[in-house]
């Protein structure tokens, strides 16, 4: 990936993940425990680095891909996870992973079984977002689909992770990864426009709410 493509990817993540990092911080700090046991689904990446940056956390990561160097190599939709996880986590984190799991219902049910009544789960998933990490990109979730997926949990909160205008700009910015030169130029135009129009975009989104367009959702759940 060249330098320009990296800049476009950074901008795309900056937009779609603007609420993710504060969401993580809030849910770790509000647990108010001396030591917090965290089971992180999906190893490696900048999100896990942020989770591990807190001084009072003990993080166990699980991933199906051993090249990502997880503590446990396993598919969370495997029933073996129930015997493999010997501890009860205070917090289960799963960011930008659920769309890559072939059997999400089984995975969520497994996490329900290894949780106790005090365990919190925090997730993020894409909704209106381009295909990525192909061919292992299987699902996009509406907030109604998420409520059905987490139906065994008594407390479920679902939050839009960005605004409708943010999402429109992300889709255009992602055209940078097209092979078509004209589409790449369109992506460049929208990327520059977003940077210059950022305050105006935020103002418009505060005045005109439209919750059905978002790049994805943040989920907080508890038994």
Judge whether 108 and 81 are in contact, CB under 8 Å.
no
User: How far is 140 from 126, CA to CA, in rounded Å?
Assistant: 6
Domains with residue ranges and CATH for the chain: 18-164+211-222 (3.40.50.150)
Q: Please return the burial class of 219, using the count of CB atoms within 10 Å of its CB with bins 0-12, 13-18 and 19+.
A: buried
Lowest mean per-residue pLDDT among 35-39, 154-158, 195-199: 195-199
**CA-based nearest residue to 58, from 98, 26, 31, 20:** 31
Task: Give whole-number Cα distances, 129 to 36, 59, 174, 193, in Å.
Answer: 32, 29, 9, 20
The neighbour count for residue 148, using CB atoms within 10 Å, is 11
Residue 3 has pLDDT above 70, yes or no: no
pLDDT the model gives residue 173: 81
Query: How many degrees, rounded to 5, is the angle at CA 74 between CA 13 and CA 24?
Result: 35
Structure tokens at 200: 């105006």
Three-class SS of residue 93? strand
Over the stretch 41-55, which tens digit does the pLDDT of each residue have?
A: 998 888 999 999 999
Judge whether 161 and 216 are in contact, CB under 8 Å.
yes
Tell me how long the chain is. Answer: 223
pLDDT the model gives residue 12: 77
Q: What is the H or E stretch that residue 149 is in?
A: helix 143-149
Q: What is the pTM of this model?
A: 0.88
Q: Which residues contact 155 (CB under 8 A, 6 or more apart)?
A: 220, 221, 222, 223
Over the stretch 68-89, which tens digit does the pLDDT of each residue have?
A: 999 999 999 998 888 888 888 9
**Is there a cis peptide before residue 135, judged by omega within 30 degrees of 0?**
yes
pLDDT the model gives residue 122: 97
Torsion angle of the four alpha carbons 49, 53, 54, 60, in this order, in degrees rounded to the nearest 10: 40
**CA-based nearest residue to 72, from 90, 82, 83, 60:** 60
Residue 37 has pLDDT above 70, yes or no: yes
pLDDT the model gives residue 1: 57
User: How far is 196 from 62, CA to CA, in rounded Å?
Assistant: 40
């Amino acid at each position: 990936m060249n330098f320009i493509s990296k800049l476009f990817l950074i901008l795309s993540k900056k937009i779609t993940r603007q609420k993710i990092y504060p969401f993580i911080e809030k849910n770790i700090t509000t647990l108010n425990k001396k030591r917090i046991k965290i089971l992180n689904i999906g190893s490696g990446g900048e999100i896990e680095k942020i989770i591990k940056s807190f001084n009072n956390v003990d993080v166990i990561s699980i991933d199906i891909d051993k090249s990502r160097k997880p503590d446990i190599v396993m598919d969370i939709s495997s029933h073996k996870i129930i015997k493999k996880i010997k501890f009860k986590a205070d917090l289960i984190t799963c960011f930008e992973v659920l769309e890559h799991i072939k059997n999400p219902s089984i995975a969520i049910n497994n996490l329900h079984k290894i949780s106790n009544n005090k365990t919190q789960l925090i997730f993020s998933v894409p909704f209106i977002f381009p295909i990525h990490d192909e061919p292992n990109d299987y699902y996009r979730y509406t907030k109604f689909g998420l409520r059905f997926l987490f139906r065994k949990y008594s407390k479920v909160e679902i939050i839009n992770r960005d605004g409708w205008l943010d999402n429109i700009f992300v889709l255009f910015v992602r055209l940078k990864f097209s092979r078509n030169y004209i589409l790449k130029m369109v992506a460049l135009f929208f990327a520059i426009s977003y940077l210059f129009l950022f305050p105006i975009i935020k103002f418009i989104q505060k005045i005109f709410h439209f919750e059905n367009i978002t790049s994805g959702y943040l989920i907080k759940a508890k038994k």
